[in-house]
Amino acid sequence: MGCAMAELQTFDLILFAAGTFAAALVTGVAGFAFGIVAAAIWLHFLSPAHATALIVAYGLIVQGISVWKLRRSLKLARLLPFLLGAVIGVPIGVELLHWTSPATLRISIGVVLILFSLYNFQPL
């Protein structure tokens, strides 16, 4: 039984690393979507609260590098709507985490990913 538990933890660690890599790759290519890509994988073995904390931490690191490189071209007036949205949306999102089950959150994120992909689909 102990060996099976160790294998499960190893598999979770592999999934965590793969999810982190995929999310960072998408962010590097597209410039956004770290959280949604990471959540699509991480929520299969992490609680929503743990996944959210990790998304914030890793997202700050990944996006922080981009912001640092572009720091001279940032204009505060253009950032204000995003900052205002974050001030309003983050507390609401944190409160919703207490009420939402992991399964519902996984399905919701999957639906958002599919709808966003279909919305941006442009056949060649």
Confidence of residue 5 (pLDDT cuts 50, 70, 90): very low
What pTM value is reported for the model? 0.63
Is 37 exposed, middle or buried (CB count within 10 Å of its CB: 0-12, 13-18, 19+)? Answer: buried
| Cα-Cα-Cα-Cα dihedral sign, residues 110, 107, 81, 98 | negative
- Number of domains within the chain: 1
Segments forming the whole domain that contains residue 116: 2-120
pLDDT at 48 over 90: no
Instruction: Determine the Cα–Cα distance for residues 67 and 119; give it in Å rounded to an integer.
Output: 27
The yes-or-no verdict on residue 8 having pLDDT over 80 is: no
Which tokens is 71 given?
Answer: 């720091």
Give 10-47 pLDDT, tens digit per residue. Answer: 888 899 999 999 998 988 888 788 888 998 898 888 88
